[in-house]
Amino acid sequence: MGTLRQRVKADTLVEVVVASVIFLIVFMIGFETLTRLTIREDEGLVLVEADRCIGECFREFSNGRYPLGQYERKYEWGSIEAVIAPYRDYRSLQMLTLKALLRENRRRIEYHYVIELKE
């Protein structure tokens, strides 16, 4: 096998500095974009509060005491819409849909449950 006799020219200090600056700029732009896309601190608290309220609504509406229909609960952070409908052709099952609509960030959390009616 032959040996390589070509020599690679070393980069100058100016080229290294320019490449480092370009890399730094690209990294800073990417980091800035990433931090803007993440959840703010107060937004996380609102999501936890909404999830807790959905759990309360589930306990309230899943007991089978409410007739079929649409219900709404208003909260400081938004509202929860509960829809109770028959589940297919089964008389002993109901479909409970809970939708939380968050006012601030226009997010929507949606859960679907199939509930067995107790006789």
pLDDT score for 72: 96
- CB-facing half-sphere around the CA of 68: CA atoms within 13 A: 8
pLDDT score for 35: 77
Please report, for the chain, the start and end positions of each structural domain, with discontinuous segments joined by +.
Answer: 11-119
Query: Could you tell me which residues come within 8 angstroms of residue 104 by beta carbon, excluding any fewer than 6 positions away?
Result: 43, 46, 77, 78
pLDDT score for 103: 87
Q: Alpha carbon of 78 to those of 19, 34, 102, 105, 106: distances in Å? A: 49, 27, 5, 10, 9
- C-alpha torsion angle, residues 108, 52, 40, 79 (rounded to 10): 40
Give dist(CA 101, CA 80) in Å, integer.
Answer: 6
pLDDT score for 7: 66
pLDDT score for 106: 79
pLDDT score for 36: 74
Which residues in the chain show pLDDT less than 70?
1-4, 7-11, 38-42, 119
pLDDT score for 10: 61
- Of the candidate CATH numbers 3.30.2010, 1.20.120, 1.10.357, 3.30.1300, the domain formed by 11-119 belongs to 3.30.1300
pLDDT score for 75: 95
Hey, CA dihedral for 47, 48, 54, 58, is it positive or negative? positive
pTM of the model: 0.64
pLDDT score for 49: 92
pLDDT score for 97: 96
